[in-house]
Amino acid sequence: MQLSLTIKGSGADVVSYLIAKNPNNPYERDEKGFKVRLVYPIFTKEEVQFVIYVKPDPIDLVRNSSDLFDITHYINDREFAVSSLFITTIRKALGTALNGKPDEAYLHWVDHPFDMELAFGPVSTDLRDQEIADLFEPIGYKIEIERGDSAFREKSSARFVTISGKQSVQNALKHVSILIPVIDNYKHYFLDEREVEKLERYGEGWLETHPLKQMIVKRALRFNALISQSKYYDKKPYIRNQGEGTKIRLNDLRYEAILNVIRALPQKENIVDLGAGEGRLSVQLGFVEGVKEILSIEPSNKSRLKAIERFGQVIDREGYVEPQSLPGSLYYFDIRLQNKDIIILCEVIEHIDEERLPEIFNTILNDYRPKTLIVTTPNQEYNVLYDMDEAMRHDDHRFEWTRAEFAQHVEAWSKGYPYQVNIQGIGEEHPTYGQPTQMAIFRREEI
């Protein structure tokens, strides 16, 4: 995997100072399973080209990165594609240029626009060629995309991208440091708040006005918890409270709707929050009058640890029922969940392969037999108001259904079981697209 930058015109040789790499001293470094090299195939006063390329050692990657790679990576080509891993690996080599901090004598060249051509590849992506072009053309580039020489060229997902235009070296490197991982749409490392800071630093001056800003932010940060922190993200999943002029998170509206349903139920002593994540809903259930037991069921130990910490941080414990955080999965029968008053699946089913849902609902309605089952899931029709087109709201969603599709599935799941079902929406209603969240309430007929 490699990236090359070619500069033509007066002052081209200044580039060596901007990237702080002497053309007479080849650069070579080892970076955790990779060998990074930078060379100058061309170096004159009027034209300079440098190439930075990375050679991975898959065995060394596995040996030194047990948390990130498993045995399948010995035969995985992901580490050979230009990606977030590539950008992370070359960032040290190009850090001086990315941060715009060359020697003082060359500071005035940092913002100088050069005639340049930047090429990188191979890149593996789910984007169409035109979608890749739409990432670069609004910020002043012409773009060419080629596929590898092969009899299967048209079917290959690997591409080589060349962009050209008039840009400063710093801006060009900022652009590709954000957009290459967006094109690849995969992160090879743990994402946290530092990723938000990185996006804001390298996106400064161009991302704010980019027509695909929303898509860039979502593919760069991947997780809603991080996306919502970015200043570049238009937080449309917040619903405006018209009376007070404040904004309420859709997630908070969803929890409040569930809590209101539960408060109105005659039987609510025993509640199961199935797929509870980090326990945000479970902890609120602990304050509902009449509740005596809450089982917060979650398969992820990492999420359970955060949930347990959340449950213990409640200060005012008068009338509070602390949830029990238990490991569990929708895929396996769990005798502890039988005959409860309420089972909740809040934004859970869309994370499950669709073909597995009938069996899961058979287990819940036939074996667990809750008096009430509450299920929420996104309304796919509403996504158009988030400028999402065909995209889903979360990278881990396996599907998102329209209101009609949800109603059809709910009817199929409940058929043959003694449950009456009511479907309603949650959040601000649009006359055409409905509400952002849809909720089904199953109640056993004898109740």
R_g of the chain computed on alpha carbons: 26
pLDDT at 273: 98
| pLDDT at residue 152, rounded to an integer | 42
Peptide bond connecting 122 to the previous residue in cis, omega within 30 degrees of 0: yes
The answer to whether residues 432 and 441 touch, using CB atoms and an 8 Å cutoff, is no
The predicted pLDDT at position 75 comes to 37
Q: Which of 138, 104, 119 is nearest to 52 (CA)?
A: 119
pLDDT tens-digit profile, the chain (447 residues): 789 999 999 999 999 999 999 999 888 888 766 788 999 999 999 999 999 988 876 555 545 444 444 433 433 444 556 667 778 778 888 989 988 999 999 999 999 999 999 999 888 888 889 999 999 999 999 999 997 654 444 445 678 999 999 999 999 999 999 998 888 865 545 556 678 888 888 998 899 889 898 889 888 887 766 777 788 776 544 454 444 444 567 888 999 999 999 999 999 999 999 999 999 999 999 999 999 999 999 999 989 999 999 998 887 788 899 999 999 999 999 999 999 999 999 999 999 999 999 999 999 999 999 999 999 999 999 988 876 656 788 878 899 999 999 999 999 999 999 999 999 999 988 889 999 999 999 999 875
Residue 315 has a pLDDT of 76
142-147 vs 27-30, strand pairing mode: unpaired
User: Using CA atoms, how far apart are residues 382 and 404, in angstroms rounded to an integer?
Assistant: 13
Backbone angles phi, psi at 132, to 5 degrees: -65, -45
Structural tokens at position 206: 């161009």
**Which residue is listed with tokens 């070619």?**
6
- The HSE-up count of residue 438 (CA atoms within 13 Å, CB side) is 25
pTM: 0.51
pLDDT at 240: 46
272: phi then psi, degrees, rounded to nearest 5: -115, 120
Q: Provide the strand spans (E) within 207-337.
A: 238-241, 246-249, 270-274, 293-297, 324-326
What integer pLDDT is reported at residue 73 of this predicted model?
40
Whole-angstrom distance, CA of residue 282 vs CA of residue 228: 22
